[in-house]
Chains A and B, each alone.
Chain A
Amino acid sequence: MPRIFAYIIHRSGMFDDSGAELLAAAKRIDPTATPTAIIAGWGPNLDAACSSLQTSFPEIWKIANEALAYPNAEVVRHALVSILPAGSIVLVLHDHFGIDLAPGLSIKLNAAFVSDVLAIEGVEGNFLKVVRQELGGQVSTHARCDISTGAVINVRPGAFKPEPDVTAAGEVVDKSSSVGTLSAKRRYIETIVAEGGDVDITKHAVLVSIGRGIQEKDNVVIAEELAEALGAAVSCSRPVVDAKWMEKSRQVGSSGKTVKPKVYLACGISGAFQHLAGIKGSPFLIAINKNPKAPIFQIADVGIVDDILEFLPLLTEKVRELRGAAAK
């Protein structure tokens, strides 16, 4: 069985669940694996991150280099290529950094690359069997990956549940001197923080959230009327922002806002995982979509197969009637 590594991203010495998720994924490949975490950076933040990893990983490879003060995928790739043993399996989280790093890394390592893996079914001989999704999550596939020359595997955020009671007394191995001089043809300049917008969707208990099913900008008012009647806010999925029908500040998802409402009405939203990643706190989720195959129905509490352009106005009318009756 090849040696398994997990590349850990940290910001300011802190990291999220991704280390534990990658550890869980490693155990799915090989239950007896003792995976090595690799972490890169510069300064006291790196040391802080290393020490917090020691309780979960048996070994941590540290790469300290000023060029890694900001995680630039090209620089990280150069560093990894110089230290990874041939034939290794490298696990990376499939987020904006993993998408930047992993495909090119697989080429430089002459290793297989499997992207956005949801589940790992195990290894038989030289082949790793995984589960992926295609076509916006409407179908799943099994894929077989030849790991005889190693593999880079991007793991979907949230897909692997961290195992409980993981303990380790990890040893930190300093690999900094093995990476040589790091330079890049791409250089980080700055991060521009998203603007706030007129309505803070993260503060609302009820969200009427619209997707591509709203069809055109002039129809957004249908959702606004329902939201107004309910005392809710209108949020949306990515295609609505791409089409410039709503402001970016209204977008729920991994590249938008993370919301924690009590009730979430997903209207004409298919349910791409990037969208679902922005919905936290297990709200009561009601999905209305005219496509009965829409993945949103797999995770919703209640579903209605209907056209939102017909259904929402009727619902608005009923809310108004109820409010009117209550006011009398």
Chain B
Amino acid sequence: MEILVCARRVPDTSENEIEVNAAGNDIERDDLVYSINEPDNYAVEEALQIRDRVGGNVTVVTVGGEDDEEILRRELAMGANQAALVSDDAFAGSDGRGIATVLKAFVQKGKYDLILTGVQADDGAAQVGGMLAAMLDYPFASLVNSIAVEDGKLKVSREIEGGNREVNEIDLPCVLSIQTGINEPRYVGMRGIRQVASVPIPTVGATDLGVDANAVGEAGAKVRRIDYFVPAAGKGAEILRGSREENADKVLELVAAKGGLK
């Protein structure tokens, strides 16, 4: 099976305190720790496991800039067969539709049976996979938390409310958005990354893909971010500012007062 995984490099929210910059037009990006978008990493792991069961190749692609190559290198170290960086000034400012348009062009330059994305990235939109599928006229399933390969199709389950799973049969080729927890992504160390340091990662631009520059980037965007802000806190929490000792006493007192100590 030929599998394509679409991945993205994002600020790691578990490692950063995110601040809005003074102009309010971006977040403070100096000193941010970046990593591969977590659901995308699960998607790569899932692709590798499917490949190891049924054969084939795993390609990882990202739409971005030079800095984003590091996540491709990381996924190569995990075991992906190849990677590509899709990069062009014309793509800057793309909305979800713009990114999906670029990826569609990339998909059509190859031949893939299965395309995976993470369920959502740092913008929390959960949109590119579904858009890409619609553009390609492929079937789509979101929030996928298990995949079994059958003859010419897949049996996938989706995470729905209350921890229940919705089981579907889906024809190939298809696009799936992968939910975290579907597998246990393998560990990648510095050594593994060094071993793939010399693997070439081609850069592909708008001309290579035959993408109309007006359909993507800021020009093609129907949705644009105007600013970043931190909402005025509602009532917000009363922050206890005592010593650790004092805070623990206070919490205990509050828990008891609220009937939490039987």
In contact, A103 and B126 (Cβ under 8 angstroms): yes
A318 at the A/B interface (Cβ < 8 Å)? yes
- Are B164 and A192 within 8 A (Cβ)? yes
Known contacts A134-B122, A188-B168, A262-B260; is-contact A107 B225 (Cβ 8 Å): no
B interface residue numbers (CB < 8 A to A)? 11, 13-14, 17-20, 27, 96-97, 100, 119, 122-131, 133-135, 138-143, 155, 157-171, 174, 177, 180-181, 184, 222-231, 233-234, 236-240, 244-245, 247-252, 254-255, 258-262
How far apart sit A99 and B260, CA to CA, in the bound complex (Å)?
38
Q: How many residues on chain A are close to B (CB under 8 Å)?
A: 98
Give, as a whole number of angstroms, the nearest-CB distance from B94 to chain A: 13
Q: Do most interface residues of chain B lie in helix, strand or loop, or is the interface mixed? A: mixed
B145 to chain A, nearest CB (A): 9
- List A237-281 residues whose CB lies under 8 Å from chain B: 238-239, 241-242, 244, 248-249, 251, 254-258, 262-263, 265, 270
Q: Are the CB atoms of A292 and B224 closer together than 8 Å? A: no
Tell me, in angstroms, the Cα distance from A65 to B164 when the chains sit together: 25
Query: Taking A100-B130, A140-B228 as contacts, is the C-beta distance between A107 and B97 under 8 angstroms?
Result: yes
> Which among A95, A131, A263, A297 is the interface contact of B237 at CB below 8 angstroms?
A297
Q: Please tell me which stretch of A46-54, A55-63, A168-176, A301-309 contacts chain B, meaning at least 4 of its Cβ atoms lie within 8 angstroms of it.
A: A301-309
Name the CB-closest residue of A to B129. A103
Judging by beta carbons under 8 Å apart, are B164 and A262 in contact?
no
Q: Which residues of B contact A138 (CB under 8 A)?
A: 13, 17-18
Q: Is the CB of B259 within 8 A of A262?
A: yes
Contact string against B for A residues 99-139, beta-carbon threshold 8 Å, 1 for contact and 0 otherwise:
11111111110011111100000000000010111111011
Complex CA–CA separation, A77 to B142 (angstroms): 14
Is B161 in contact with A255, judged by CB distance below 8 angstroms? yes
Could you say which of A115, A186, A262 contacts B126, with CB atoms under 8 Å apart?
A115
Given A103-B130, A107-B97, A186:B169 Cβ within 8 A: yes
A107 touching B124, Cβ below 8 Å: no
Once the chains are docked, how many angstroms separate the CA of A296 from the CA of B236? Answer: 9
CA–CA, A140 and B139, complex, Å:
32
Complex Cα spacing A71 to B245, Å:
53
With A99-B130, A255-B163 as given contacts, are A141 and B237 in contact (CB-CB < 8 Å)? no
Nearest-Cβ distance from residue A131 to partner chain B, whole angstroms: 8
Query: 4 closest A-B pairs (Cβ-Cβ)?
Result: A103-B130, A303-B237, A194-B163, A104-B134
- Which B residues are in CB contact (< 8 Å) with A145? 222-223
Q: Is B161 in contact with A114, judged by CB distance below 8 angstroms?
A: no
Question: Do A293 and B161 have beta carbons less than 8 Å apart?
Answer: no
**Do A318 and B124 have beta carbons less than 8 Å apart?**
no
B262 touching A231, Cβ below 8 Å: yes
Give the residue name and chain of the B residue nearest to A248 (CB).
Answer: B163
Contact B167 A304 (CB under 8 A): no
A203 interfacial by beta-carbon distance below 8 Å: no
18 contacts between A and B (CB under 8 A): A74-B140, A103-B134, A113-B96, A115-B126, A131-B231, A133-B124, A136-B124, A139-B229, A141-B225, A141-B229, A142-B225, A143-B223, A145-B223, A187-B168, A192-B165, A270-B14, A284-B258, A311-B247
Most chain A CB neighbours (cut-off 10 Å) among B126, B130, B234, B247: B130
Q: Find A99's partner among B18, B142, B163 (CB 8 Å cutoff).
A: B142
CA distance A185 to B161 in the complex (A): 23
